Amino acid sequence: MMGIPAKATMLPGYNHNVTYKGVTFHIQTEDSGINNPHIITLLYSGGNILARKKTSYADIIKHERLSDVVRELMQDQHKHMLRDLKNGSFDSHPLVRVEFEKRGIKPAPAPAAPPPEVVPASAAAAPSRRSAKNRRSARSTSATTRNSAIPIFSART
C-alpha cells in the first residue's frame, strides 16, 4: 500500500496561554513537515506577533527516529520562548510596554552598558603581551552565539 510514511506528516504543535506580569501571552510552536522542515515558534499578545523563532531540521531529515527528534526540538524551542518571556527578554517590546502601562507596571530598566575601557596611549602603542592562546580564548568567550527569538516591532492595524 502506497501511503505517506508516518514520518512525512507534520507533528501536532504546542499552544499555551501564559500570564506574565498580569498580561496574557500566547506561545505557539508548529512543525511544517518534511517538505518544509522547519519548527516555528511564535509569541503573541492580543493577536499581535511579538517574536518568532524558526529552526530548520533539514540536516536530520533522514534520521531513523525523526518524529522523536523533531518532537524534542519543538519542546525545547517552545520552552526556550517561555523562559525568555519569563526572564523579561520582551519587556522592552513596544506592545508589551503598552500592556504594562495599562496595568501600571513599569518594566525593569535595561542593564546599563559597561563604560568603555580607557587605555593610555602608551599602552595602546605597545604590542600585546597576551599569548596567542589567551587571545583566542578571549575571542571565543566574547562572541557568544545564542539562537534566540527575533523580536518583532510592528503591530497589526
pLDDT for the residue numbered 157: 40
pLDDT for the residue numbered 39: 96
H helix intervals, the chain: 66-86, 94-102, 121-125, 132-142
Q: Give whole-number Cα distances, 156 to 10, 95, 119, 131, in Å.
A: 28, 11, 48, 53
pLDDT for the residue numbered 108: 65
CA dihedral angle for residue 121, residue 127, residue 130, residue 133, rounded to 10 degrees = 130
Q: What is the mean pLDDT of each run of 10 residues along the chain (157 residues)?
A: 49 93 96 94 95 95 93 96 96 93 79 65 51 43 39 48
What count of other Cβ atoms lies within 10 Å of the Cβ of residue 8?
Answer: 12
DSSP secondary structure of 37-50: -EEEEEEEETTEEE
Domains of the chain, by residue range, sit at 6-108
Output the pTM of the full model: 0.65
